[in-house]
Chain A
């Protein structure tokens, strides 16, 4: 499947601060999905973006799809301890397979 590159690999955040994780592809993506995996848990679907320039919000989480559909970002404001985990972007192909990015593991300092 298509390769999606994700940075940073680790994000150490002070509670209350904001952070962003980025997902990039060398080719145009048909869609991008975001998942969250808590430590010791399994991935949980957060959202899918399909349209160029699309922006979607879920409370303190803002997801964006680039105009060229080659990149996406997840921005979290006012980080809380409940935000701890690994955030993955993933691309769903025509045969319904998911290709995951490397993930951004977030830790929060209280």
Chain B
């Protein structure tokens, strides 16, 4: 089945620094990928839709200048959390859908801790 690889799985960074998270579709091409954020014991909240070759579209309330998304190829989307603060600490997950598949495949997630 479809596989989405996400790296890193865990990252600890200092306040004010930036962190890049990669999401790759390993065996299929994904013109669209989705980025979610999940706080402890909460549901997944869609942050943005990553579109290959064009600008990402962000959900209401998500700062596009803080969460930079780049979808430079059909198999890779990156999310960069810029000038990270402790309140950005969360579980970030990407997803994509293979071709005509019904369900979405999720990456294994990145647990970000900002100290």
| A37–B1 alpha-carbon span in the complex (Å) | 18
| A46–B106 alpha-carbon span in the complex (Å) | 12
Q: Are B103 and A42 in contact (CB under 8 A)?
A: no
| A60–B43 alpha-carbon span in the complex (Å) | 24
Q: Are A33 and B107 in contact (CB under 8 A)?
A: no
Given A97-B46, A100-B43, A101-B43, are A42 and B34 neighbors across the interface (CB < 8 Å)? no
Within 8 A of B (CB), among A38-69: 41-48
Which residue of chain A has its CB nearest to the CB of B103?
A45
Contacts of B44 in A (CB 8 A): 43, 88, 98, 100
Q: Any chain B CB within 8 A of the CB of A105?
A: yes
Contacts of B34 in A (CB 8 A): 97-98
Number of A residues near B (Cβ < 8 Å) is 22
Q: Are A45 and B104 in contact (CB under 8 A)?
A: yes
Provide the main secondary structure of the chain A interface.
strand
Q: Number of contacts between A and B (CB, 8 Å)? A: 47
Indicate which residue in A48, A96, A102 contacts B43 across the interface (CB closer than 8 Å).
A102
Contacts of A103 in B (CB 8 A): 43
Q: Any chain B CB within 8 A of the CB of A80?
A: no
| A22–B42 alpha-carbon span in the complex (Å) | 17
Contacts of B104 in A (CB 8 A): 33, 45, 98
Q: Are B105 and A45 in contact (CB under 8 A)?
A: yes
| A96–B105 alpha-carbon span in the complex (Å) | 13
Interface, chain B (partner A; CB < 8 A)? 32, 34, 41-46, 49, 93, 95, 97, 102-109
23 contacts between A and B (CB under 8 A): A1-B46, A33-B104, A42-B93, A42-B107, A42-B109, A43-B44, A43-B106, A44-B106, A45-B102, A45-B103, A46-B103, A88-B44, A96-B32, A96-B97, A97-B34, A98-B34, A98-B44, A98-B46, A100-B44, A101-B43, A102-B43, A103-B43, A105-B41
